[in-house]
Amino acid sequence: MDNAETIAELTDICIRQAELIKAQAYIIEQLGAEAREEEALRERNRLKELVGGRI
């Protein structure tokens, strides 16, 4: 394999790694949004308990 082929192969690997990292970041953001929603629901339920369900 000559230098040009090696560079092309390494470039392809970097591109694929970048795509995986982007996909992982998207999933992490989705999980974070879900966790924030769950936390908000817990806090709403807690508030309802504190004020006797009048919310």
Quick: pLDDT tens for 4-46: 999 999 999 999 999 999 999 999 999 999 999 999 999 999 9
- Rounded CA gap, 10 and 2, in Å? 12
- Rounded CA gap, 42 and 44, in Å? 5
55, 47 contact by CB (below 8 A): yes
pLDDT at 52: 84
pTM: 0.66
